[in-house]
Structure 1
Amino acid sequence: MLEFKRQLPGDGREDKAEFLADATSLANGQGGELIFGIEDKDGVAVSMPGVQPTNLDQTILRLENLLRTSADPRVVGAKFHWVPFAEGGGALILRVPASFSGPHRNALNDRFYGRNSRGKYPMDTHELRIAFTAAEGLSDRIRVLHDRAQGASPFRLFPGPQAFLSVIPVAAVRDVRDIAPTPENALAPVRPAGAMRSLHTLEGVVLHTPPDPNLFPHYPADFVRTFALTHRRGHMHVGWSIGGERELSKGQISKLVHAVSLEQDLVGMSRSAEAKLRDADLAGPWAVVVSYQGLEGYELLVTNEDYSQPAWRDSAELSPLLIDHINEVTLAPLLSDTWLLFGMVRPPDRKVAEGR
């Protein structure tokens, strides 16, 4: 959704309220861009006169502060971007993502705004009731998408501990999105060894690594080590085996999950999924969901000298994480919760890439 503005907001209360109405209506809807410096007619850009702020940094700071202090709750993830014009001046663009914490109130006039094809409008009591109910049920809908995706693969993972990861744009939860996944643009699974295979399904495209019959002759053909589903509705789901047996000392076999590789895979696959979704013109904020199966009896191996007691819980679904950017820092709560499943506290200064 695009909204064009000929001029930048002034310092008057009316101008500030108008700016907040525009920004919060985008957050309460499907997100979009507010572009200053563009002349429009009936929502269509007709000229590009541009704007020429006296001090660009101060102008952006003023508007950021206004969003931070006068939108309730705060609009997370809104970003400004300056596009200079060759003839002077330029366009100031505010990108507002669809919100997972709305509806947002314009505190300057105590109103909630929605958005349709004709622009913004004050929401009535009925629409507000729907908006608040939808916000409260967002976590449940995210979990449903994650659970459904787990059953969407025709393959089974090898017996033992398994991880399942979903990366879902919040916009795809609120409205039906449709992308066209192909084997060429689909998400690759975790650490594929050898040639990958692809399969078109009702839900989307599954890439998987088939078992090597020489290494796993006793497993049926529908067992795989890892798979990744690129869903037609605009979200990603990955499943992979995360543990195995290892002889730590002579004659002593331990059932282990390697902390370093698990953390690297969780962060790496989450970031890869985000990149693939952005390539499909989908943007955050993102819901990241992780669940585990088959953990009971397995130990978390940190180093050869540092490992946990055997896990007593066989399966667990961690609380969905709602974030604007996917990286090691924002995913830290999921990593910490994973350690707790093995009775260990993850060091707050631990680095994923280094494993220390």
Structure 2
Amino acid sequence: MALLNVPLDQIDEARLLALIAAGAAESRTIDYKRDSYGNAHADLSEWLADISSFANTAGGDLLLGMDAANGTPSTITPLTMPMDPEILRLEQSARGGLQPRITNLTFHPIPIAVGGNVLLVRVPRSFNSPHRIIRQGSNRFWARSAAGKYEPDVNELRALFNNGPQLAERIRNFRLDRVAKIAAGEAPVKLMDGGIVTLHVVPLSAFDVGLAAVPIRKVMIDYTAFLPYGSRSYTNSRITFEGILQTSNADQQAAQHRAYLQLYRNGIVETLTSTLAARSSGTPIISGLDDNLINEVQRILRDLAFYSIEPPYAVFVSLLEVKDMRIHLVRDPRDSSWYDNLSSPLDRDQYHFDEVIFETEPADAAECANVIRPILDQLANAGGTPGSPVFDASGVFVPFQRR
């Protein structure tokens, strides 16, 4: 029994008592501490070793305020100090004592009926590992096994350093393979002929061995989640070998589809629209792409987080079949200067933009836009302009407002 795949807001005292009743022993992904950590060097070094061992391995939950006998939880021993200052103290120690820092370290106080709290510290698996302790020149690395934390040997340490580049290569190769298949006409459905924008969102955990699969039964009856690019309501979906396929047409056997979304079992999302450009006087014009991308990325990341498919996420965008199309350089097609603000014709058939990484789910459109700004600016560069129109001259995101 483990907590790692349970959302924090669902973890309460009853869940902790269930751990005790089940004899859920310390493991690779869970550890118990009777007390919090003191301020002495040895205590804070222990704190840094515990959280870095989780981050360098598979992530995990650290429960402060639960006693364990021989690694098996026996009783709740609530912490009595105020939680906010304690969390701040531990956060500051983690920020200053590890290199590189662990992102997305989460603290969740769990109130106990008799008073006090158990403090759950959720440590994500890091994709920027290995993390080493630098407090007072320590320079020590820690990893974790079913028996607890340990210092890896030379070969294990070499593997920790190599895992990051290998994962990045696998993710990039997956994207390139999928885009090549779409460009070759091997998409899951027949597409229309109006230019294609593809959007791939890849949780960095997608290639983990033993990863919990997407809850296909739940997603299939959720008519608001994982809608195809540009769709605002449920149309049609079916289970496939890969996961779930949602199409923009109610009839999946239709001769052509505007858009689809493929949700893979491991949490990867592939979506696209094949009506990227509209024609005016014979000229295919791409409009509103920046704002549409911001909206689609936000929506997908929200859906992934809802189904406990946690960040970090890598986001990729490509344009296909767009040679000679033009991009409009103002955001509202009703702007009187719209036809006077068209880019030069695009000079190639395909554009593959650099990936961006979301360390957390964006809180709003502005945060999302700032993370994907490299993609938006590259899109503007393809049209011969220096930057995306969704940012003002000072680089501040401007929310879209129709006139």
* TM-score bracket for this pair, using the shorter chain length: 0.7 to 0.9
Match of 2:397 in 1: 350
Partners of 2:282 and 2:97 lie apart in 1 by 60
Match of 1:217 in 2: none
Compute the TM-score of the two structures, normalised by the length of structure 2: 0.77
Deviation, 1:115, is 1.6
**Structure 1 residues 278 and 97: CA distance shift in structure 2, 3 A:** same
2:46 is equivalent to residue 18 of structure 1: yes
Deviations 1:18-64 (A, max 9, x none): 111111111112222222111223444322111122x4333222211
Match of 1:203 among 236, 242, 259: 242
Letter in 1 for 2:398: K
Partners of 2:126 and 2:357 lie apart in 1 by 10
**Structure 1 residues 66 and 254: CA distance shift in structure 2, 3 A:** same
2:193 is equivalent to residue 159 of structure 1: yes
| SS across alignment from 1:135 | helix
2:97 is equivalent to residue 70 of structure 1: yes
Match of 2:124 in 1: 97
Letter in 1 for 2:273: W
2:197 is equivalent to residue 169 of structure 1: no
In the TM superposition, 1:34-183 aligns within 5 A as 34-53=62-81, 55-108=82-135, 109-150=138-179, 151=181, 153-177=187-211, 178-182=213-217, 183=220
Do the aligned residues in 2 keep the contact of 1:30 with 1:171 (CA within 8 Å)?
A: no
Partners of 1:314 and 1:128 lie apart in 2 by 44
Partners of 2:122 and 2:400 lie apart in 1 by 31
Match of 2:3 in 1: none
Deviations 1:116-154 (A, max 9, x none): 222221111111111111112232111123234454842
Do the aligned residues in 2 keep the contact of 1:37 with 1:50 (CA within 8 Å)?
A: yes
Letter in 2 for 1:41: A
Partners of 2:234 and 2:115 lie apart in 1 by 53
| SS across alignment from 2:171 | helix
Partners of 2:196 and 2:300 lie apart in 1 by 19
Match of 2:229 among 190, 193, 208: 190
Match of 1:215 in 2: none
Letter in 1 for 2:35: Q
Partners of 2:61 and 2:47 lie apart in 1 by 12
| SS across alignment from 2:79 | coil
**Structure 1 residues 121 and 101: CA distance shift in structure 2, 3 A:** same
Compute the TM-score of the two structures, normalised by the length of structure 1: 0.87
2:364 is equivalent to residue 323 of structure 1: no
In the TM superposition, 1:249-268 aligns within 5 A as 252-259=281-288, 262-268=289-295
Higher share of residues assigned strand? 1
Do the aligned residues in 1 keep the contact of 2:31 with 2:63 (CA within 8 Å)?
A: yes
Partners of 2:205 and 2:144 lie apart in 1 by 15
Match of 1:338 in 2: 379
Deviations 1:225-277 (A, max 9, x none): 11001101222111113522333xxxx33211113xx2333223323322332
Partners of 2:232 and 2:119 lie apart in 1 by 46
Higher relative contact order (CA 8 A, sep 6+): 1
Identity over the aligned pairs, expressed in percent? Answer: 27
2:272 is equivalent to residue 239 of structure 1: yes
**Structure 1 residues 245 and 286: CA distance shift in structure 2, 3 A:** closer
| SS across alignment from 2:142 | strand
| Aligned residue pair count | 343
Do the aligned residues in 2 keep the contact of 1:162 with 1:243 (CA within 8 Å)?
A: yes
Partners of 1:36 and 1:311 lie apart in 2 by 58
Partners of 1:296 and 1:290 lie apart in 2 by 16
| SS across alignment from 1:288 | strand
Deviation, 1:211, is 8.7
Partners of 1:137 and 1:297 lie apart in 2 by 37
Partners of 1:168 and 1:58 lie apart in 2 by 36
2:306 is equivalent to residue 279 of structure 1: yes
Do the aligned residues in 2 keep the contact of 1:79 with 1:94 (CA within 8 Å)?
A: yes
**Structure 1 residues 277 and 14: CA distance shift in structure 2, 3 A:** same
Deviation, 1:353, is 4.2
Partners of 2:176 and 2:226 lie apart in 1 by 19
**Structure 1 residues 342 and 283: CA distance shift in structure 2, 3 A:** same
Letter in 2 for 1:333: P
